[in-house]
Amino acid sequence: MIQTSVELLFQGITLGGLYGIIGAGLALTFGILRVVNLSHGEMITIGAFVAVALVGMVPTLPIALVLAGAFVACALLGAFLQAAFVERAMAFRDPMVPMLTTFGIAVVLRNLLVETTGADLRGLNVGGLAQSSISLGGMTFGALPLVTLLLAIGVFVILSLLIRRTTFGREVRALSDRPEIAALVGVRGKRVHIKVAALAAGFAALAGVLLAMRASVSPYSGVSYLLIAFEVVVLGGLGSIRGAFAAGVLLGVVQIVSSRFDGNAGLLYVHVTFFTILVIRAISGRLS
């Protein structure tokens, strides 16, 4: 019983780490840019398809280089979209303008992906890593989930250090708290915004690669990923990086434990948990 519980908890935490990465980019853009990025799900999907394409071209490519390639490709795309479209939309006071802009970008990216790759499901073959396991104390832990968890922890540690310990992080915090004063002391808002968008898209790509390792993805998968990202960001506190990781772990554990008792549940109990917490917060008067 204890062994089963520990293994379930491990699976839930590793899945939660992945959910945390899914929400990290959205938390970053909302917390700093104040933009609800509806194209975040498509960035996750594009990251997965970039990884599949890289492995298709070079089957022996190390997984670290696959992750790096997807990160760079989506970071460049995110920077371009921010500079060309979203930044201009942010000039309007109405927050609906940049949100609708990202919605349009999502639709275009999704259809471009279908046009160029087709609508078939794709998966990422990681060789023996998918079947590898580690035995500890009579319990068996999958190597791939462990890699996912370690990568998730690494992503959030890097993000935390980047925001709190670097010049870029100080500029980001200044723009987030007092953009007018930050501009007066020489912080170039547009340049910082582009860097933030690039980081968010890059982290979305990492999530996409990890998802493609676990299951198949299609050009239409972005919508479901966006829903998970929103739930992670809202539960973790709008714009909170640490909160996104904690919320991701919570939802991951809920999904794994619920699937143990109801194999057909899917994400049902995840969504029920999200809704329940929102209701409790509304009753208590604490919405974030």
The tokens describing 266, both together, are: 């899917």
Helix axes 2-28, 40-57, angle to 10 degrees: 110
Q: How far apart are CA 268 and CA 257, in angstroms?
A: 12
- Here the CATH number for the domain that contains residue 272 is 1.10.3470
Q: How far apart are CA 273 and CA 271, in angstroms?
A: 5
- What percent of the chain clears pLDDT 90, i.e. is strictly above it? 45
Residue 132 lies in a domain: no
Q: How far apart are CA 179 and CA 256, in angstroms?
A: 42
Residue 187 lies in a domain: yes
> How many domains does one find in the chain?
1
CB 110 within 8 A of CB 219: yes
Mean pLDDT of the chain: 87
Pairing between strand 133-136 and 139-142? Answer: antiparallel
Residue 201 lies in a domain: yes
User: Does 80 have pLDDT greater than 90?
Assistant: yes
What pLDDT is attached to residue 65? 93
- What percent of the chain clears pLDDT 70, i.e. is strictly above it? 91
Q: For 131-140, b where at least 16 C-beta lie within 10 A, e where not — what string?
A: eeeeeeeeee
CB 14 within 8 A of CB 192: no
Show the domain range for 45.
2-120+137-284
Residue 149 lies in a domain: yes
The model's confidence at residue 37, banded by pLDDT at 50, 70 and 90, is: very high
Residue 130 lies in a domain: no
The tokens describing 143, both together, are: 């190597």
What pLDDT is attached to residue 210? 92
The alpha carbon of 48 is separated from its chain's Cα centroid by a whole number of angstroms, namely 12
The model's confidence at residue 33, banded by pLDDT at 50, 70 and 90, is: confident
Per-residue pLDDT tens for 162-210? 888 888 878 877 777 676 676 666 677 788 899 999 999 999 999 999 9
Residue 131 lies in a domain: no
Residue 125 lies in a domain: no
Residue indicated by tokens 């209701």 = 279
What pLDDT is attached to residue 172? 79
Residue 168 lies in a domain: yes
